Amino acid sequence: MPHARALLRNAAAAAIATPPTPLIAGRVFAGRVWPHDTGALPAARVFTDSEQLAFPLSMTEVQRTVALRVEIIAVGLEGVIDDAVDDACEEVESRLSVALTVGGRSVRPVYQTTDIELDRDGERVTARAVLTYRVDLFTQSSAPGTLA
């Protein structure tokens, strides 16, 4: 059975990708690590890179506070790249503003921060925005893929 984090990533990627959005349709990845091609951008990558555990009720049920992050990559000319990455952010934010179904449970991502970085080392300006959401998942301590 997949881990709760994997279920969360897949649910978030599906929510962003379905139905297709105007900008990042077909380019939403859960777990991609290889470089993007400039001809296939903007794109979004969903990942979870940290988690804090608590046992609020009993030792058999774990509260997992997961950092769900969506990385958006876009390229463009100077002067328009900021708008391009913000347009893609708008697509992601609107899709993750509603509850997700994770392991049969309704889970609401809490939007926390966006960090945007620009790089001018390539042929065009590259922009990366990382949207961070806090998600609380409750699982059985003996079954991290089973949501309580």
Regarding 3 and contact with other proteins (CB under 8 A), the answer is no
Contact yes or no for 125/83 (Cβ under 8 A): no
What is the closest distance, in whole angstroms, from the C-beta atom of residue 74 to other proteins in the complex?
9
CA nearest to 127, candidates 138, 143, 115: 115
Stretch that binds other proteins, among 4-12, 33-41, 52-60, 91-99 (CB under 8 A): 33-41
Regarding 7 and contact with other proteins (CB under 8 A), the answer is no
Stretch that binds other proteins, among 14-22, 47-55, 118-126, 132-140 (CB under 8 A): 118-126
* Residues within window 91-110 making contact with other proteins, judged by CB under 8 A: none
Instruction: Please identify which residue in the block is written with the tokens 């390229």.
Output: 75
Q: Whole-angstrom Cα distance, residue 93 to residue 7?
A: 19
Question: Looking at 75, 92, 102, 107, which residue binds other proteins (CB under 8 A)?
Answer: 75
Q: Whole-angstrom Cα distance, residue 138 to residue 124?
A: 44
Question: Looking at 115, 119, 141, 143, which residue binds other proteins (CB under 8 A)?
Answer: 119
CA nearest to 28, candidates 114, 121, 75, 91: 91
How many other β-carbons are positioned within 10 Å of the β-carbon of residue 109?
A: 25
What is the closest distance, in whole angstroms, from the C-beta atom of residue 68 to other proteins in the complex?
18
Regarding 81 and contact with other proteins (CB under 8 A), the answer is no
What is the closest distance, in whole angstroms, from the C-beta atom of residue 112 to other proteins in the complex?
21
Q: Whole-angstrom Cα distance, residue 120 to residue 126?
A: 6
Regarding 44 and contact with other proteins (CB under 8 A), the answer is no
